[in-house]
A = this chain, B = another copy of it.
Amino acid sequence: MIKTVAIQGVKGSFHHIVSQQFFDKTIDVSEYLTFDGVVDSIMNAKNDAAIMAIENSIAGSIIPNYALIDNFGLHIVGEHYLDIQHHLMALPNQTIEDIKEVYSHPMALLQCKAFFKKFPHIKLIEDKDTAEVAQRIQANQLKNVAAIASRLASELFQLQILSESIQTIKHNETRFFIVKTKNSEIPEIEINKASIKFELDHKRGSLATILNVLSDCKLNLTKIQSLPKIETPWKYAFFVDVTFDAYSDYIKAKSIMKIMAQDFKVLGEYKNARL
């Protein structure tokens, strides 16, 4: 039973929104400034689960978060997709001409870069979190400063939205994982997606052979990424997501992959959020 969830960022952050949508609005959230802190908290049983952004449709995978899941042996028990809308917000009665500095997370700044070309008087400054800046503007009554954050953040911290959806690419989705230290308690019948990891030597066609197995077992590949093995540069591990209709097909593919690939590992078995 999941009662408390660790999130990266403060209330009003996109991780907070995901916790409300995946569970419900009454879920207890614990705020951490870093993903390391989030993972520490579930390893020490301070929280039952954690929410971690894993990829977005602009910048691709958040590799350090894959590394955390892999290194700490965490289990992915769910996924959630959130349409990220970035709004520019400041204390009430400020106009965009009043704003001299915008603080936000590097990813948010990157996604809104084009918008600020029209406002060369505004300095963009990297910060730890999107919503935490909104909180700070309210707490310290900061004038001439704006945040890029969610609508929830503007509501929680009583800021006025100066400009809506300022991200360059209007359709901007981020995928989140819900992770636990223990494996999924989802009934098999509901499991139709899995994230796996394996390593291969660089023999010609070794990856094609594995993908043929997946295909023969009626698994669909929805993501593949070769990743350098740390401390062994340019030896790659593969992170793969598969979807399937029958759990038995997946079990069959898993038993073959265990034999054919090196260091085969299931990162999680869960319900596809994209049906």
Q: 1/0 per position for A213-236, CB-CB distance to B under 8 A?
A: 011001111111111111111101
Q: Is the CB of B228 within 8 A of A226?
A: no
| Chain B proximity mask over A58-84: 1 for CB below 8 Å, otherwise 0 | 111101100000000000000001000
* With known contacts A171-B233, A236-B223, A228–B126 Cβ distance under 8 A: no
- A118 within 8 Å of B (CB atoms): no
Contact pick for A126, options B126, B170, B225, CB 8 Å: B126
In whole angstroms, what is the CA distance A159 to B205 when docked? 50
Evaluate contact between B224 and A226: CB separation under 8 angstroms: yes
Question: Would you give the shortest CB distance from A161 to chain B, in whole angstroms?
Answer: 24
Residue of B nearest to A60 (CB): B63
Number of interface residues of A (CB under 8 A): 47
Asked whether A212 and B223 contact (CB < 8 A) given A61-B60, A173-B234, the answer is no
Number of copies of this chain in the oligomer? 2
Q: Is the CB of B224 within 8 A of A215?
A: no
Beyond A205-B215, A233-B173, is A126–B106 a contact (Cβ under 8 Å)? yes
Asked if residues B202 and A208 are in contact (CB atoms below 8 Å), the reply is no
Instruction: Evaluate whether A221 and B234 lie within 8 angstroms (CB atoms) in the complex, with A63-B59, A64-B59 already known.
Output: no
Instruction: Please name 4 further chain A to chain B contacts, defined as beta carbons within 8 Å, in addition to the given A204-B220, A207-B211, sorted by A numbering.
Output: A171-B231, A171-B232, A207-B224, A208-B212
22 contacts between A and B (CB under 8 A): A57-B228, A57-B229, A57-B230, A57-B234, A58-B228, A60-B61, A64-B110, A81-B233, A81-B234, A169-B231, A172-B233, A173-B234, A202-B222, A204-B218, A204-B219, A205-B211, A205-B212, A208-B208, A208-B214, A222-B234, A222-B236, A234-B274
